[in-house]
Structure 1
Amino acid sequence: MVAEELRAGERLDGLPSQQIQIIQNPDMFSYSLDAVLLAYFAKPKQKGRGLSVDLGAGTGAIGLFYAAKVTGQVKLVELQQDLAEMAQRSVVLNHLEDRVSVIHSDMQEIFADIKPGSVDTVLSNPPYFSVNEKTKQNLDEHYQLARHEIAIDLPRLAQVANKLLKNNGKFYLVHRPDRLEDIMSALAARKLAVKRIQFVYGKADREANMVLVEAIKAGKPGGVRILPPIIAYTANDEYTPQVQEILYGQPWQL
């Protein structure tokens, strides 16, 4: 794609380590480090040969970054038409039409397109804020839906993931640490057993600002592993060597 093929307000952002480019429009929605880290954190089943689904895909960043480290099919599910259309153009841009497809749909109505119990891996970067929290009313619809639990909340997201997954399939999500109790409750109620947790810190001397979670459908209870933390920035506001490697290093391995 050449620059003149981008539409008004759009830009190309990329992940060099995965050799993936994403079409974005900052006036609608743009992915950030949380999307990259979720795709990196997720561990494919069966060497990535099975079906993976990105719920609430936005411009497709998580699913496309993840697709670069698996060999199976990846489906990107997105409610907002403008974002789904951008995601589809990014699929074409990255020459992944044979393995990655975009479904413009409410994730709660996806089961005619994706058979229940057919998915090996579900990924999601859901809205972080519950609707009873104070919101900035000047945000446009794209940001409202992406940031606040208007179209989907944690219990309903967990239910969709459970219905899509095979037994022992994996569900991955990134969220805010202050919602961890809600996350654990929603997953446990829907037979999704948490197995790995990794906290992300903006800087080493600050509280965690992200949490990455892996859960297994119908997994045995107990055995939760807390992984070493990811520190995003140095005291000089530069990426740490760990994050530099994730962003710019060698392609992620299975």
Structure 2
Amino acid sequence: MNEPNLIAGERLDGLPSQGIQIIQNPDMFAYSLDAVLLAYFANPNKKGRGLSVDLGAGTGAVGLFYAKKVSGQVKLVEIQEDLAQMAARSVRLNQLDDRVSVIHSDMQEVFEQIKPGSVDTVLCNPPYFPVKKTTKQNEDEHYQIARHEVAIDLPKLAQTANKLLKNKGKFFMVHRPERLGDIFAALSARGLEVKHLQFVYGKADREANMVLVEAIKQGRSGGVRILPPIVAYTADNQYTKQVETILYGQPWTMD
């Protein structure tokens, strides 16, 4: 691994199971467990030998964690220049320059750099919260774009993913369970049929606080399968064995 060459305010965070380190500045935005679980959940066709794209990549966590379990090219698309630069430095730090690249672009304007219909797999950890008059938004621009639908909403995200994907290509996303109605409506209306869901629970006795979604472009309607749940923490606030294995166990493999 190369030297990180951190600048003021930055730190290194890592995922031991994948042998990946990410350069982050917590004053801007830092990835959390949802990014790890999305990368773990994504199970593309042909063991990931085709082109994969991480939309709204931030500092590159999802795409870099995922890149270590696939063999194809991975492109990270990020609208914020400073986050895109950190992602590019993390790519070099992890010596993945031969397969992973960063594109500084609005995902809705990326089609000159990525040909429509050329992508096998799209991943996205999108902003979770719609913008309404009553919505309390983060004052910091980085957090606002990451958490609230100011730069992209679900319908526009679904349209972008559809345009990038080949027929039968896969779309993977992590979101909030309370948005499932919006998710199904947005994806189905744009030719992306949901095929697998997996709910994530903070603790076993609580409601789900995340949902992992897999959809297929031009897939058959119906036949949604619910995978076994992921429970993150024990009653005494330790990682469960399931999540501990994801974070610290053997490198992930494709089914």
- For normalisation by structure 2, the TM-score amounts to 0.97
**Aligned residue in 1 for 2:123:** 123
Shift of 1:48: 1.1
For 2:44 and 2:67, locate their aligned partners in 1 and report how far apart those are by CA, in whole Å.
Answer: 10
Shift of 1:45: 1.2
**Aligned residue in 2 for 1:63:** 63
Check if 1:94 corresponds to 2:61: no
**Aligned residue in 2 for 1:21:** 21
**Aligned residue in 2 for 1:204:** 204
What does the per-residue CA deviation read over 1:92-126, in whole Å, with 9 as the maximum and x for residues that have no partner? 00000000000000000000000000000000000
What does the per-residue CA deviation read over 1:157-204, in whole Å, with 9 as the maximum and x for residues that have no partner? 000000000000000000000101000000000010100000000000
**Aligned residue in 1 for 2:143:** 143
What does the per-residue CA deviation read over 1:4-53, in whole Å, with 9 as the maximum and x for residues that have no partner? x2111100000000000000000000000000000000002112110000
**Aligned residue in 1 for 2:236:** 236
For 1:112 and 1:137, locate their aligned partners in 2 and report how far apart those are by CA, in whole Å.
Answer: 32
- For normalisation by structure 1, the TM-score amounts to 0.98
Shift of 1:212: 0.3
Shift of 1:133: 6.2
What does the per-residue CA deviation read over 1:61-90, in whole Å, with 9 as the maximum and x for residues that have no partner? 000000000000000000000000000000
**Aligned residue in 1 for 2:11:** 11
Paired residues for 1:186-225 under 5 Å:
186-225=186-225
**DSSP-derived class of the 1:86 partner:** helix
Shift of 1:134: 3.8
For 2:138 and 2:28, locate their aligned partners in 1 and report how far apart those are by CA, in whole Å.
Answer: 13
**DSSP-derived class of the 2:70 partner:** coil
**Aligned residue in 1 for 2:34:** 34
> How has the CA–CA distance of structure 1 residues 77 and 228 changed in structure 2, closer, same or farther, with 3 Å as cutoff?
same
Greater shift, 170-179 or 125-134, is seen at: 125-134
Alignment gaps of 5+ in structure 1: none
> How has the CA–CA distance of structure 1 residues 193 and 138 changed in structure 2, closer, same or farther, with 3 Å as cutoff?
closer
Alignment gaps of 5+ in structure 2: none
For 2:133 and 2:217, locate their aligned partners in 1 and report how far apart those are by CA, in whole Å.
Answer: 30
- 8 Å CA contact retained: 2:138, 2:144: no
> How has the CA–CA distance of structure 1 residues 163 and 138 changed in structure 2, closer, same or farther, with 3 Å as cutoff?
closer
> How has the CA–CA distance of structure 1 residues 232 and 133 changed in structure 2, closer, same or farther, with 3 Å as cutoff?
farther
Check if 1:156 corresponds to 2:176: no
For 2:133 and 2:245, locate their aligned partners in 1 and report how far apart those are by CA, in whole Å.
Answer: 36
Which amino acid is 1:27 matched to? D
**Aligned residue in 2 for 1:175:** 175
Which amino acid is 1:66 matched to? Y
For 2:63 and 2:192, locate their aligned partners in 1 and report how far apart those are by CA, in whole Å.
Answer: 21
Shift of 1:139: 2.2
**DSSP-derived class of the 1:183 partner:** helix
Shift of 1:136: 3.9
For 1:207 and 1:108, locate their aligned partners in 2 and report how far apart those are by CA, in whole Å.
Answer: 34
For 2:52 and 2:139, locate their aligned partners in 1 and report how far apart those are by CA, in whole Å.
Answer: 31
Check if 1:80 corresponds to 2:90: no
